[in-house]
Amino acid sequence: MVAASPKIAPAGSDISIRAVSHRFDLEGAPLPVLDDVSLQIEPGSFVALLGPSGCGKSTLLRLVAGLDHPSAGEITVDGDPVADPDPSRILVFQDPTLFPWRNVRANVALGLEAQGILKSEGGRVDDAIRLVGLDGFDRAYPHQLSGGMAQRVALARALVNRPDVLLLDEPLGKLDSLTRLAMQTELVRLWQQSGLTAVLVTHDVEEALFLAQRVIVLGPRPARIVADLQVDLPYPRHRGDPRLAELRHEALRHLGLEASW
C-alpha cells in the first residue's frame, strides 16, 4: 500500500569508511576504540556490524551519523564527507528515547517540524505511523506504550524523514524475546519497502544473520574487522535454515566462541 508510493522509496546511499581510527580521551589517557577500519557499503544493502559488547561498533555508527568525528580516516556518504548530523542519515538508538511530552503523532512529526516542512509534508506522518502498524495510537503518550510499540514509534520517527541511510544501534536490544523476533521480521519488511541502506549494530549473532545480507564481525576493543560474511539467502528467511546454522558457527568461530558450538 505505502510501498506503491514512489516517493517513499529513496535510493539508498553508499557508505565508504576509509582507514577510520577513533579514540576517547579518558582523564588524559587515550582509549582506542576503533583501529583502522575500512568498509564499503553498497547502496540499498542491509549490513550488520557484529561484535562483543563495548567493542566500539556503536561508536562507528555514531561516526557515520555525524554525531562524532573520527580521530583519523574519513567517512563519506555518496562521496560527500560526513561533517554533521543530517536527516538523510538517521540513527535509531537502543532506547526508543521518545519525547515523553509529545504524543505518538508529535514524536513522529519531530523531524519534519525541525526541518520546517511539517505543514507541506504533514501527510507523511500518517504514512509513517501506518507503515509501522500503529494506526489508532497517534494520540497516545510514550508512557502508555509497550517497549515494542515505543520502538516502532522510534522507527516511524526515523522513516518519516525518508532517510537514505538508517543506522540501527541495537534497536531490539531491550525487547523481550518474542517481541524481538516479530520486530526482526518487521525490520526486514521496512527495509525492503523503503529501499534505504541499513546498518545494524548488534551483539546477537542470530539477529545479524537473519536480517543482514552481509555481516561484518568486529574483534574486541579496539575494534578491527575480523571477518566479512556474505549471507547469500533470499528473504523471507527461515530461522531453521541449515545454511544459517553454518554461518552462525562461522561467526562464533571468528568471535572466539568456537568451544561453545
Residues at the site binding other proteins, with contacts judged by CB under 8 A? 65-67, 85-87, 89-91, 93, 95, 97, 99-103, 110-111, 113-115, 141-144, 157, 161
Cα–Cα distance measured from residue 193 to residue 204, given in angstroms and rounded to the nearest whole number: 24
* Helices 147-159, 123-131: crossing angle, 10 deg rounding: 140
Q: CB of residue 61 vs other proteins: minimum separation in angstroms?
A: 11
- Are 254 and 224 in contact, with CB atoms under 8 Å apart? no
Cα–Cα distance measured from residue 163 to residue 29, given in angstroms and rounded to the nearest whole number: 37
Nearer to other proteins, 119 or 143 (CB): 143
Q: CB of residue 260 vs other proteins: minimum separation in angstroms?
A: 34
Q: CB of residue 88 vs other proteins: minimum separation in angstroms?
A: 9
Q: CB of residue 156 vs other proteins: minimum separation in angstroms?
A: 12
**One-letter amino acid for residue 72 of the chain:** A
Nearer to other proteins, 165 or 209 (CB): 165
Nearer to other proteins, 50 or 65 (CB): 65
Grid coordinates given for 260: 561453545
Q: Phi-psi category of 171—alpha, beta or left, where left has phi over 0 and alpha has psi -120 to 50?
A: alpha
Taking the CA of residue 92 as centre, how many other CA atoms within 13 Å lie in the half-sphere pointing to its CB? Answer: 29
Q: CB of residue 82 vs other proteins: minimum separation in angstroms?
A: 12
Q: Phi-psi category of 235—alpha, beta or left, where left has phi over 0 and alpha has psi -120 to 50?
A: beta
For the chain, what's the residue count? 261
- Residues 221/224/229/231 CA torsion (nearest 10 deg): 60
Nearer to other proteins, 43 or 87 (CB): 87
Q: CB of residue 111 vs other proteins: minimum separation in angstroms?
A: 4
Nearer to other proteins, 114 or 182 (CB): 114
Nearer to other proteins, 83 or 178 (CB): 83
Cα–Cα distance measured from residue 244 to residue 250, given in angstroms and rounded to the nearest whole number: 10
Task: Give me the residues paired with residue 15 across strands.
Answer: 41, 77
Nearer to other proteins, 33 or 159 (CB): 159
The single residue listed with the C-alpha cell 567517512 is 75
Q: CB of residue 139 vs other proteins: minimum separation in angstroms?
A: 11
